Structures are given as structure tokens and as C-alpha cells.
Amino acid sequence: MHLPQIPLLTSLSAVLLSLHSQQTIAPHTPVVAVKNGSIAGIHNAAYAQDFFLGIPYATPPTGPLRLLRPQPALAWNGTRQATSYPPWCAGTPGIQLVGFTQPGDTGEATASEDCLYLNIVRPAGLAKPTSPLPVMVWIHGGGWMTGSSADARYNGTFLVQKSVDMGTPLVFVSINYRLGTFGFLAGAAVERAGLTNNGYRDQRLALAWIQENIAAFGGDPGRVTIVGESAGAGSVAAQIVAFGGKEEGLFHGAIMQSGTAAAGQPFLNATAREARFQSVLNATACGDAEDVVQCLQNVPRNILATANPTQSVLFTVNDDFFPELPSTLLAQGRFAHVPVILGTNRNDGSNIFASLVTALKAPVNTIEDFTAVLISRGYTASVAQKLWDLYGDEIDNPTEAGLDTMLPTQGPELGSEFPRVSLWVGDEIFAFARRMYNQIWDKAGVPSYSYFFDVPPADSFLNTSVYGVPHFAEIPYVFGNSEAVGWEKNPIRQGDDKDRYEKVVDLMSRMWVSFAVHGSPNEHGLSDVNVAWPEYSCGNPTNAWFKASGLTTQVDDWRTEAMDIYKNISVGILW
């Protein structure tokens, strides 16, 4: 169920929505002229904000443009109504994230290939701003297979309101990009045609559109911060190394929440990519076509979407977008040298792995089960044994980053060794790369800030004895969404705990705004917060530690032996 995207709409706003549906411009309707034409949005008097929803930044990638690189949006005549969120991009049915996939979150009912749109939320009264405002661009997650800027949990209203309350107003932008087979297809024929990594190219075009047009909305094209979670964070990381770190002035800061450039998706070699591509061709009866791309352009959407559902996301290296593996580009210093925030959640791996176990019906109960999982990801049996022992030691003698609320053993559905494996998943996919990125930024002399999110959701929302502080748990906090707009259930604890949890909501959202405005999270304006968030350094590696009791710091030296294994092996999937 998708709750209203614009919270607390007044009766006046409801009337305006009705007028917009009739292509009528009401007296208080904000109208902006961009390069392509004029846009009429919605004025929300309750929040003193203007919304411009469903603005095209590209020509619809449909028909003969399906699977091609994105093309800039065409001009239009008259005033375009930007009054409703765009459809979800057609994607591939992905594995459902335990605890955070709500009914309707696949967006299938309204999904479309005509989906390359963005949304803008700004403080009202910016027709002639005295000085342009910083811009925060949100890139959604969803495993590169699902998700949308239309997800109500990504509503920018509360962040914009928070920025106004702080006296440092900003403009919030959220974007769609192609997903699954439609955005990340790879194979010899696709690669020869230069049609790789198109979902990332969509994002790049959206950032270029923002550079050209955001000033018309009162935004500053010279102060753009890109932000994402999970696959969205991976997308942010991809833009940082895109074209070998060619900055192009598209963004000036970045926030990566539980994700980096690969984040669990492999950069396969050409042989493996071709094998997966052939499975798509076989499922769509395009294997014998003279022009397989043209054939795929004519396949019904639902067939193409499900042609290879578990392996549909294929990133391609050695093209112009990724001239090398992201890890190689980072090691060579070929990345956008912009300030960053990177962080992970204590139990990022718990619901990720639980989702896989549920989908594949493959619980881990023994070391043999664990070894089979690791071998499938490129490890040797001896390394699997070493990691099995290390994570067993973590459970027996936990560090500050241990299981915490998660019980050390679980039932048969997830497997008795689920806690051990969930720690490995969280480290291998998220925490290791987060640590490496912070170290690389420090060595390059570029500011970076690292965090460890440790605020458990409400027990009525998710069983923390099973999942702890899982993937996606920080979202309502960074969006300042203590009212849980867009959520089926409120993930933030209520009752006697409500006030202290809402203080964390206030602090985190303020720190995200502060970073977008100042390039540092410490200009948050809360006099009762006495802990500064230090820049990360290899000599004193420190995480900001967000706990229900408030902010503290944590030395980032836990599970070093396991992290060294990930650093020294070559599986091509880590970062």
C-alpha cells in the first residue's frame, strides 16, 4: 500500500490537485521555466513547500529506444503539469527484503518503461531567491531490480522542512532510473552496440539535467550532493568512479548508506556475462535473431522482465562507463574527489540473507552449508573454514559490532547458523567496502565521515532478536520521518521510548542536511549534542555511532582479520 506522497495535504491542496487534473493553473500554483518548457507544480501551504513531480529528464526509452542509451527529454509546448509522482520503472521481480517490502512495493500495478522522471521539493517563495540553495539528490535502492522515487518513504518533505528549521534551506530531488534487464543488460551483442550500464547512464543524464535546470527552482548547481541507500548507494559509488573519475561538475558531495559500487552484485567476466545473456535470449526466443537487440525491443515487457529474474543485473567493465573494476579505479585514484559520508547498519546482513534463505529455501545449519555458499561466490574451502571460525569467535566473544540483540542461534526456517552467516554477509557486502572507501579517501586527502547505525526498530515492526538492526532500518531517521509517512507500520519505537528515538531522527536528518549544506555533518545546530563526528583517518579510524541513547564514537578496528581476507582475495564482487 502506498500512502500519500505529500503529507498532511490541506483542503486547499486537495482542491489544487483537482484543478491540476483539469489542466488548470490555480492562482498559487508555482510555475517554472526550464530548458524544455514550462512546468506547473503544486503548492503545499501546510509545509510552505512547492512540489514538482514527474518531470521528464529523458525521452521515454520505449519501442525502438528500449535498451538504448538514454536520450535527453524533448521540448514541449505550453505548460506541463508536474503534479503527480511518475510510475515505477519496469524492473525484474527481485528478492523481497524481509521486514521492509510492503504490499505494492514492486510497483507492478503502475510500472512502465516510460519512467525516466524526477521530482523536486523546495521551500516555497523561491521564484527570485536571494542566493541559490544547496541540492540533495536521492537515488533509490532495490537491488537494481525494483524501487522508485515514487516510494512514499523517500518523501523529501521532512528533510526540506528540517533544512528550513535549521536556517539552511535546501532543494530535494529524487530520480527514477531503468532497472533489471531494462537497465543493466550485458552480453556480446549489447556490448558491441555500446548499450551497457544504461541504468547508471540514466542517473548520469538526470544529474546533467539538474545542472542545466535546477537554478530555475532556486537550487545551486555548484552544490549538489548525491545520496543513496543499498543499490542507491551503489549507484552513488558508481557515479564517483564513472568514466574513470571524470567529475564533470555533476556533484560535489556524496552519501552512501549501506552500499558501494558492487554491493553484492558481481562484475562478471565476458564468458559469464555471455552465459547469462544467452539465458535471456533463450527465454525471449531471440537467440536466433539476426539483430538480437532489435528482437529484444519487441518482446512483451513482462516476458523480458522475467527472462532471467535471479541474474538480470549485469554490470559491465571495460566499457566507457567502467573502464576498470571500481576497486581498480579507486586504487589508482581515478574517482571524483568529493567529500563523502559512508556507513552501515549493525546487522545489515540479517534481512538480506534471510530474504535469500526464504527465496531459495536454503538455510545454513552446518559448515558444509556455509562452505557451499562461499564457494559459489569464489572462495576456497580453506578460506571458508577460516571465516567460519572467525565469525564463530565473534559470536562467542563479541566486539562492539557483534550480534547485539540478535540471538546467537535461530530456528530451522533460517538455519541454526543464520546469525554467523548474517555477520559474514554484512561484512563482505557492506562493512568491508565502507572501511576501504574511508581509508582511500583519507589517503587521497579528501574528507570522509563513517557511521555505524545501531538503533533497533520497534519490536512490533520487526523481531530484533532475529534481525537486530537490519538493512534499510536507518531510512526513516535520515529522512526525518518520525511520523512514518509511507510506512505500513511505524518502524520507530513509540511509548516510553518515543522521545529518545525521535531525538535520533532529529539528529541524523540534521546531520545529513548539514553535510549537504556545509560539507560537514557537524553544523547541525543542536546544543545538547556534545559529540563531534570526526573525519575518518587511517591513523585514528573512527565511526559516528548512532545509538538509541544518542551519539557516541566507535573505533573502527573490529573484525580486522576477516576484513583482511576480503582485501586479499580476488572474487571481483566486493567493492
Q: How many angstroms separate the CA atoms of 67 and 58, rounded?
A: 13
Torsion-angle region of residue 216: left (phi > 0), alpha (psi -120 to 50) or beta? alpha
Q: How many angstroms separate the CA atoms of 188 and 104, rounded?
A: 35
| 3-state SS class at 42 | strand
**Cell numbers found for residue 58:** 529523458
Please list, in sequence order, all residues whose beta carbon lies within 8 angstroms of the beta carbon of residue 20, skipping any fewer than 6 positions away.
26, 29, 40, 42, 81, 83
CA 11, chain centre distance (Å): 34
Q: How many angstroms separate the CA atoms of 532 and 522, rounded?
A: 6
Per annotation, catalytic residue among 13, 148, 149, 230: 230
Nearest CA-CA partner of 262 in 573, 571, 567? 573
DSSP annotation of 531 reads -
Nearest CA-CA partner of 113 in 163, 22, 57, 179? 179
| Distance set, CA 136 to CA 172, 199, 376, 423, 486 (Å) | 5, 20, 38, 32, 20
Q: Give the relative orientation of helices 418-426 and 348-360 as an angle to the nearest 10 degrees.
A: 120
The two most distant CA atoms of the chain are separated, in Å, by: 71
* Known active-site residue 149: no
Phi, psi of 538 (to 5 degrees): -65, -30
Q: How many angstroms separate the CA atoms of 429 and 573, rounded?
A: 8
Do the beta carbons of residue 548 and residue 497 sit within 8 Å?
yes
User: Grid coordinates 519496469 are at which residue?
Assistant: 90
Where is 550: in which H helix or E strand?
Answer: strand 550-555
Question: Active-site positions?
Answer: 230
